[in-house]
A = this chain, B = another copy of it.
Amino acid sequence: MELNEGKNKFIEAWGIFGSEWGINRTMAQIHALLLVSAEPLSTEDIMEELNVSRGNVNMNTRDLITWGIVSRVLKKGERREFFQADKDIYKVAIKIMNERRKRELGPVLETLRELKQVKGNTTEAREFKRVVADISSFGENTDKMIERMVKADENWFTGSLMKFLVK
């Protein structure tokens, strides 16, 4: 397979994978394109490569930046901005997990904490509280686990954790 065909296949695969996990296709594709580009790309480069509009590229690059996995870079002598993806996949994975932890897991955990306060001592109420407490405890542990991953260094992640889990 040729390099260019490979890049296109990667962009396509990453786009599908992203959309299966609630990330919009273009955002995932821009991320993929930047991951496999040797050089940082401009808005125009991305527009051309993926056939999407300027507005779309602007929105999604900004979004990728707020996720902390893409950064703006300046080339000397150039007025416009270029974009570049962090190519360390462990850092990327941890940043994504951590952002989703904060944005999506956080609110659920808060709701679950409230729900443990439901009144009543009937069988039904106790059963409800048991289910909620189980889910809550599972969620809190997942939350702490991701927090620890963020603090740990890459070596811990690839070394100790992977050994513990996979070997």
Query: A: which residues have CB within 8 A of B?
Result: 1-3, 5-7, 9-10, 13-14, 16-17, 19-22, 35-36, 38, 87-90, 93, 103-104, 107-108, 111-112, 114-115, 117-120, 122-125, 127-128, 131-132, 134-135, 138, 141, 144-145, 148, 161-162, 164-166
Contact = CB atoms under 8 A, between A and B. Distances in A.
A134 B89 contact: yes
A120 B3 contact: yes
Contacts of A35: 131, 135
A90 B139 CA distance: 11
27 contacts: A1-B115, A2-B118, A3-B119, A3-B124, A3-B125, A6-B132, A7-B128, A9-B111, A9-B115, A10-B111, A14-B108, A17-B104, A17-B108, A20-B22, A21-B22, A35-B135, A36-B132, A87-B131, A141-B162, A141-B165, A145-B162, A145-B165, A145-B166, A148-B166, A161-B164, A161-B165, A164-B164
> How many copies, total?
2
A131 to B, nearest CB: 6
B145 A2 contact: no
B89 A135 contact: yes
A103 B5 CA distance: 24
